[in-house]
Structure 1
């Protein structure tokens, strides 16, 4: 494998994966991104031009996708509409990108016999009760609860069907909630960090007891690299770092790390269909591929993320006002 195509390469997880690949391998990387509000070309600044190129385009553009897939050894598909709140306001872009876009890509990969890795989410499994000792596994039943998770579940099913029906050389990974550098300020952790930096009180939906299984984006990147290199075709791997934390605890940790009172936040009306708890069992990935997370200590990963946002205001500042205006218009 010498050349790979990364869709959604200017997005949060895609750009971090590209930085990881550029640092740890000799692969040539082409990034394809539509550059919607969630894509930021500045996230890819400074990469060596002899090994990296960027193409602005839509994964639903079949002729473009066909040309780009023909010239690479593998496609790593990160591109997605991924924000639950946005999917409740306007589901259509989620159908277009997550379903039609994935279909377009796997058809091109099938035509050119190109290795394909599909990035998905633990949200396709629905949620767990707060007191439930269970975790999601590769055999968990799909129970999506939002337009976002439903379209991601549909894209997973498309990939599986293309593996079975057409012999697509594909793998799938479902990952827990990511945090780290280059994440858009509409997302939970960077929104809280930037609110605190701006002197504003963080806000939590409901009672703040909803639990997410957090993983640093660098650990997600290393797991995807391991699956791309050593994963068994047709298999699904769950990616998690044993990072279960309630939203309330995360905000209190951030406030403490940033020198504020841990009680300096407000509770607001919960959003519709807010999942209670996600939890990942990543034992298959660890046992089969020997993967282990670097940021096993959530507090250390959170401190690393806080430092990045403190040091990179020029990256996130242009997004901030528009994000807060949008949330204010939605009553949040």
Structure 2
């Protein structure tokens, strides 16, 4: 069996350098430092380098001094961390600033589009930056009193301007499960929000007061109407769409359960199918499988024992 090393976005070697966030001189040091590189985001898209023939896809990481004049006050600044003697900062900009930096719209790409061809470092930086930007966009008001909040601690917290309460980035844990039966077939479902003939692993958010293992059992029961056991954690993946942490598990259908009794709930999942490896290989473009950057794809390939050729399937895919 081919064992993939780890899901996309899970290879990051970035030192978050949390101690530096409390330094009041950090922002000025980043502005003037020769080792600072800035990732610029606009409407969830990052600026990529201009490609020439044979060049790899890469983030356009600019020195602060190289950014256009007047960009000293972006919508948001966040210190992302350091690695290999470099320090990285996120700056979120508005449409006018984005046009000054790069007017060519094609140079600005989403994480879903860019990640498959980015280096491990750049993909991880983009994921961290997008997750932070998404959190800030959704937490401009204090959940306690409704007053405005302001970024503090180098972008890793927001402080209420009325009651001074502190609020920190949140991540929503979600389990995603590769369910097999005693014949080692895999259970895939088609979500009500997707087009027909698109299948992925079953997944769902962890509820308050619930263990991860209990969430696995509950989600499969709710979405497929069957009991599973032999639940085992495999790997995790940050998934900033907008703020999830995908926790990958395997599970086996319970010994007393007939695989044919699996029944889609009809609301979230419209269709369920058991697949052998040969059936997935033979399906070709008749079905769409999870995209290459998702942990769903990683778990599926881990079970399949080899890479799955998305290009040969004919159905574009970008969700987990």
Q: TM-score range by the shorter chain?
A: under 0.3
In terms of fraction of residues, the more strand-rich structure is 2
TM-score, normalised by the number of residues in structure 2: 0.27
In terms of fraction of residues, the more helix-rich structure is 1
Larger Cα Rg: Structure 1 or Structure 2?
2
